[in-house]
Structure 1
Amino acid sequence: MNELLSALAAAVGAPHVLTDPESMAPHLTDWRGRYTGTALAVVKPAGTAEVAAVVRACAAADVAMVPQGGNTGLCGGATPLPDGQTVVINLSRMSRIRAVDPANNALIAEAGCTLAAVQQEAASVDRLFPLSLASEGSCEIGGNLSTNAGGVHVLRYGNMRELVLGVEVVLPDGRVWDGLRALRKDNTGYDLKQLFIGAEGTLGIVTAAALKLFPRMRSRATAWVAIADPAAAVTLLARLRNAGGDRVTAFEIVGRPALDLVLKHLPGARSPLADPGAWAVLVELMDASADAPLGEMLEQALAEAMDEGLVLDAAVASSLAQAETLWALRENVSEAQRLEGVSIKHDISVPLSRIPEFLERADAALLTVWPDARIVAFGHIGDGNLHYNLSKPNAQENTHFIARTEEVNRLVHDVVDQLGGSISAEHGLGQLKRVEVRRYKSEVELELMRAIKECIDPRGLMNPGKVL
């Protein structure tokens, strides 16, 4: 242990090797407070060469490693196990933007850059980096890649996997693969970068990425729309996309219980409509042209849908401030749930056309067993991704309910599987779902995943206890 700590200190400087419990504590518990582990040390390298030196030192000592960024993950993927036999490698000091190329619509960011910093850098050259998450002020690019982050603009721009041109990775033996090629076309064999995107640090440590940029959006129209049910939401989305095409940038659904929690816990929050109804969608259209008549387009589409009974009521933002107020209602659902207490969370996806069927079948299955369960459903319905969370309003009853998480998960995930969906749409597997996923992936698929892990990390040193 002393030899390892000396080697780590030599690699990054003694002040950046944390070993006392107080300084390590923030790095040992996940954002939700669900998982707490222990570690031999928390190491904070400042560059790729230092990461490589740390990995070589750990590999020589046969000590496993847990890569970590902003520690905002929701499945315990960046939290060490309780055995205390790993070194946490936190990349937050690696926060440089290495290059910006507006003509190529690309920039290269180190893994410790916050998402907000990348967005700001893109804006400084009149470009857009479209990934948008509620945690963008603290989540980091390395973690976004490792979990293949989604967010509210997947409908138009895709997941993180679609926003990456190249990556730089430190492999489990300390070698560095420089795949930072900012190319749209490179047909020279396997697309290796995709192995590391979504791998949650189990194959190597992403230290930098070449990211796609897009034209900056200059026109925006935002509306909060009351609808009768999720089926109306699916129909409305089709209508809007027929009218506006890719200008439909975000389409989020919020069930009434989710809105009620935000109104309860977000200071100053008010319902945008006199009668919020059982369901609402938050719609946003954006365009690179400053003169695009998005407001008129959205208002006309909503008026026609209202005449047909598809839309019950709508509030269209007349200013940026009003749009941000509407977005606050959506973006604070998770925080409101956290303040309300523990809940059983699901991050699922099914084909968009089957969202109403999922909600109908999952609600029925759960309420048959737990008639008083509170179902908080919200999320990125535009790309088929729902956050489907369950709790009991009474704290004492909720404790007993949470104890039956495995049974609840089985009911929900079985419905997802029957509809051709996924039990993890954008949060990853981490510690939370690595056992559960075995029920829903074929043995062939699991065998292929294990073979890739064995090939790249035969000693199992990278983020043990996660994904597989």
Structure 2
Amino acid sequence: MTVTPTPATLLSAMQDIVGAGNCLTADADTESYVTDYRRLYKGKAPVVVTPTTTEQVSRVMAWCHANDVPVVPQGGNTSLMGGAVPDDSGTAVVISLKKMHRVLAIDTVNDTMTVEAGVTLSAARAAADEARRLFPLRIGSEGSCQIGGNLSTNAGGTAVLRYGNMRDLVLGIEVVLPDGRVFSSLKGLRKDNTGYDLKHLFIGAEGTLGIITGAVLKLMPQPRSTAVAFVAVQSPAAAVELLGRARALSGGAITAFELISSPALELVLEYLGNIPSPLESRHDWMVLIELTSGIDEETLNGTLMEILEAGLEGGLVVDAAVASSLADVQQFWRIREEISDAQTRTGGSIKCDISVPVSRIAQFTENASAKVLALEPATRMVIYGHMGDGNVHFNPLRPRERDAKSFLAQWYKPVSDLVDGLAHAENGSISAEHGVGVAKRDDLLQYKSSVELELMWQVKRALDPKNLLNPGRLLPDIDAAGKSGA
């Protein structure tokens, strides 16, 4: 029987492995590691460990496994689902990968980049850019989020339409298993048909099966030209039809097609203060369209104008502003990317991150909006997201005169359940790209089949039989639902 180590024994062991300077214990030092991005979840940790090598992560995990100490792996701690912070029991060690931030190699012939897990997304993109390549993942938190976390949550973002999710952008990974063993497959191979592709077990597993410490990422050619427009459309249905026409006319050049509701635009313009709307008049629905290509800029802009003209002739497009400079492009994208922070600062946002087939986006959006407004007519319907891949951030926001606490207390669960149920009815998902964490964990009991949940737990038990790695995250207690025990 394992004896629970005392705090002093635990700290001494961690210091022996990573050094005293890489162990944080004071409340002031650990605060940012035990509190989530939205400040909705806060826990405790006897120590936050910041290793600098995979070998140190391995030794920490081996010691914790031998002594039954739970571990919470953490990247940039930008999770919206509470999946990267410990609970309030004060028993779990937090392992932050932030000091493992080296770009190890770039191969411009093979178009790959090998990085440690703590490299931020912005640093990875900058390194690729310096090598005259593109790493295409784009999300608003790129200055803070880390590659390991991007992999652990299978991050999506604004370029999935063109390049896919994080799962599609990685060729190999290195992972420390719950018992301290290291699975290393840092190969830049696009073809390797020698059995199970084990990396996919860990991508999207939210740190419950292993700690990703390194990765080989795919690089792409840098586009020669970019064309961007901020477009007012008649409705979500018109936006879907415009997307179809844009795909047909662009020959695969669409990188992003982002839906934005009027309340979302108004909120972010108010938050940013001194930035005008790209469009002179108010419109209920807009899309941000970006084309990128290896062809010249004049030809690409011509393609964008052809798309807009087809939309105008078909009664789909109401108005449009075409970016004429890099400053315009940056401003259009800043408006889109700051919507999330504007909601966080405002408070009282019910964040629903759903996906449905693209063909069902319009019906879902209109139906869900009507049902939410029937409950609370003054709700601001902040709706935006990646229409091109079916991912809608459907985030009803408190009425202006209503305080956030009372609005969320009354409506958070009823509205979340309503929206998730409608997405599920459209053969959709209740979490498109934000993951499950704690916030959506128990909802899986309703939306995942018993077979799916049992298979997930079988994988968890096989790799982490002691349930020490990020316990209480992602996987619901299927005992509570009367299924085979967890």
Is this contact kept in 2: 1:18–1:41, CA < 8 A? Answer: yes
SS of equivalent residue, structure 1 residue 299? helix
Deviation, structure 1 residue 397: 5.1
Work out which of the residue numbers 126, 129, 136 in structure 1 matches 2:132.
126
The CA distance in 1 between the partners of 2:372 and 2:101, in whole Å, is 45
Is this contact kept in 1: 2:53–2:100, CA < 8 A? Answer: yes
SS of equivalent residue, structure 2 residue 62? helix
Partner of 1:19: 25
SS of equivalent residue, structure 1 residue 11? helix
Is this contact kept in 2: 1:262–1:269, CA < 8 A? Answer: no
Is this contact kept in 1: 2:227–2:297, CA < 8 A? Answer: no
Q: Which amino acid aligns with 2:443?
A: E
Is this contact kept in 2: 1:4–1:61, CA < 8 A? Answer: no
Is this contact kept in 1: 2:348–2:403, CA < 8 A? Answer: no
SS of equivalent residue, structure 1 residue 217? coil
The CA distance in 1 between the partners of 2:318 and 2:373, in whole Å, is 27
Partner of 1:438: 445
Deviations 1:100-119 (A, max 9, x none): 11100101110000001111
Is this contact kept in 1: 2:228–2:289, CA < 8 A? Answer: yes
Partner of 1:460: 467
Deviations 1:262-282 (A, max 9, x none): 111103111111113100000
* 2:85 matches 1:79: yes
Q: Cα–Cα, structure 1 residues 26 and 397, in superposed 2: closer, same or farther, change >3 Å?
A: closer
Partner of 1:183: 189
TM-score normalized by the length of structure 2: 0.95
Partner of 1:421: 428
Deviations 1:289-329 (A, max 9, x none): 34561111101220231122110000000111111111111
Is this contact kept in 2: 1:348–1:388, CA < 8 A? Answer: yes
The CA distance in 2 between the partners of 1:305 and 1:409, in whole Å, is 34
Partner of 2:164: 158
Q: Which amino acid aligns with 1:405?
A: Y
* 2:125 matches 1:88: no
Could you tell me the percent identity over the aligned residues?
Answer: 52
SS of equivalent residue, structure 2 residue 259? strand
SS of equivalent residue, structure 1 residue 22? helix
The CA distance in 1 between the partners of 2:9 and 2:63, in whole Å, is 9
- Equivalent residues in 2 for 1:42-441 (5 A)? 42-290=48-296, 293-394=299-400, 396=402, 398-403=404-409, 404-441=411-448
Q: Which amino acid aligns with 1:318?
A: S
SS of equivalent residue, structure 1 residue 360? helix
Is this contact kept in 1: 2:111–2:220, CA < 8 A? Answer: yes
Deviation, structure 1 residue 371: 2.1
Gaps of 5+ in 1: none
Q: Which amino acid aligns with 1:451?
A: Q
The CA distance in 2 between the partners of 1:315 and 1:394, in whole Å, is 29
SS of equivalent residue, structure 2 residue 81? coil
Deviations 1:161-213 (A, max 9, x none): 00010100000000000111211011111110000000000001000001000
SS of equivalent residue, structure 1 residue 246? coil
What is the aligned residue count?
468
Work out which of the residue numbers 428, 447, 454 in structure 2 matches 1:447.
454
Deviation, structure 1 residue 44: 0.1
Gaps of 5+ in 2: 1-6, 476-486
* Mean CA deviation greater in 331-340 or 358-367: 358-367
* Mean CA deviation greater in 435-444 or 298-307: 298-307
* Mean CA deviation greater in 337-346 or 46-55: 337-346
Q: Which amino acid aligns with 1:162?
A: D
Deviation, structure 1 residue 137: 1.0
